[in-house]
């Protein structure tokens, strides 16, 4: 088994879903995992599962769109582990759903900011130590909605599309400094982001969070002479 032993991975949205599953799989490969999310109980539970399986895990409760909270989380991580080798920007949410003509401006901007601001702030805080050590990997977990149009998801789609361009620009800026930057754009994944109610695609046909985590892990294990820029991952039946 290929290993990530000795590496430190900071994962946002790490309390549940794709983030939690990624933390578990990276820990199985030997990485020390640092989970960041807003809900302490979920973080504690995920970290406990990793430790019970023999892995190393730490956690910090923080909102990724809160610069001071994220700065503290990153500084504490560096204080504990000494370095950050991997960043998985996974945190995201949807507050604005519906047609543009009837959308709530406040909810629309909250959705845009919550997805894009956190991605920017976390990357901005983690990048300097990566550049200083001359190595690092960043995986931005985006969405197929950032590449294809879906009626009723304008705010989320705009945030993810901006995240994709952010990924492309960042990759150009740091590629020659030993830092790889990658984006994964999953289709429908069976996570809590869908909520409950009518209009949700059949969850049985969705991608499992652990499957996305497995693909992220393989992206991070790509040999040093290659780079995966962007990866679109859809359910077996395509767009649901």
| Residues assigned a catalytic role | 156
Q: What are phi and psi of 233, to 5 degrees?
A: -125, 115
Residue 134 backbone class (left: φ over 0; alpha: ψ -120 to 50; beta: rest) = left
- CA-CA distance, 114 to 133, in Å (whole number)? 29
**Residue 179 in 3-state DSSP?**
strand
Contact 159, 111 (CB under 8 A): yes
- CA-CA distance, 119 to 90, in Å (whole number)? 8
How many other β-carbons are positioned within 10 Å of the β-carbon of residue 162?
Answer: 17
- The CA–CA distances, whole Å, from 44 to 19, 41, 109, 201 equal 13, 5, 30, 30
Query: Interior CA angle at 230 toward 158 and 227, to 5°?
Result: 145
Q: How far separated are the first and last CA of the chain, in Å rounded?
A: 34
């Amino acid at each position: 088994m290929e290993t990530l032993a000795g590496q430190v991975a900071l994962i946002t949205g790490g309390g549940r879903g794709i983030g939690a599953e990624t933390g578990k799989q990276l820990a199985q490969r030997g990485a020390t995992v640092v989970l960041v999310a807003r809900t302490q109980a979920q973080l504690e539970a995920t970290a406990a599962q990793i430790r019970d399986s023999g892995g190393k895990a730490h956690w910090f409760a923080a909102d990724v769109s809160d610069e001071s909270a994220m700065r503290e989380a990153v500084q504490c991580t560096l204080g504990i582990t000494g370095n950050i080798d991997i960043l998985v920007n996974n945190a995201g949410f949807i507050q604005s759903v519906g047609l543009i003509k009837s959308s709530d401006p406040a909810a629309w901007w909250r959705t845009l900011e919550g997805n894009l601001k956190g991605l920017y702030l976390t990357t901005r805080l983690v990048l300097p130590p990566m550049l200083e050590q001359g190595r690092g990997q960043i995986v931005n977990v985006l969405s197929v909605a950032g590449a294809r149009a879906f009626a009723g998801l304008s705010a989320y789609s705009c945030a993810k599309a901006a995240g994709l361009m952010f990924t492309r620009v960042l990759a150009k800026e740091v590629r020659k400094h030993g830092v790889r930057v990658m984006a994964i754009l999953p289709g429908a994944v069976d996570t809590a982001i869908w909520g409950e109610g009518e209009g949700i695609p059949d969850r049985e046909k969705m991608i499992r969070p652990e499957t996305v985590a497995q693909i992220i892990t393989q992206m991070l294990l790509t040999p040093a002479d290659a780079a995966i820029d962007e990866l679109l991952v859809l359910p077996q039946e395509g767009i649901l």
